Structure 1
Amino acid sequence: MTKQYVISGLEASANINVGLGKRLVITEEDDRTVKTKTPKPSWTAIGDGMKTRHFQSYPYEDTLLDLSKPEAWFFKLLLKAWTIEDGYSNISHVTFTATEKTVASNAYKKLKERDLVRKVRNKVYLINPCAKIHLTLFDTLYKVWNDLDKPKPKKGMYNYISFIPNGFWLKSYKTWDSKIKKFITEVKND
Structure 2
Amino acid sequence: MSLARTQALLARIYTDASLRRAFFDAPLAIAARFGLDGKAAETLALIDRREVETFAQSLLGKRSLDARKALPLTARLLEERFDALLKEAIEGPAAPLRRRADAAALSQRLHTLCAQGAIKPAWIADLARFELVFVQAAHPGATLMFRRFRYDIAPLAASVARGGPAEARPRTTYGIWARAPKGRLRWRLF
- Normalising by structure 1, we get a TM-score of 0.23
User: Looking at CA atoms only, which structure, 1 or 2, has the larger radius of gyration?
Assistant: 1
Relative to total residues, which structure has the larger helix share, 1 or 2?
2
Structure with higher RCO (Cα < 8 A, 6+ apart) = 2
- Normalising by structure 2, we get a TM-score of 0.23
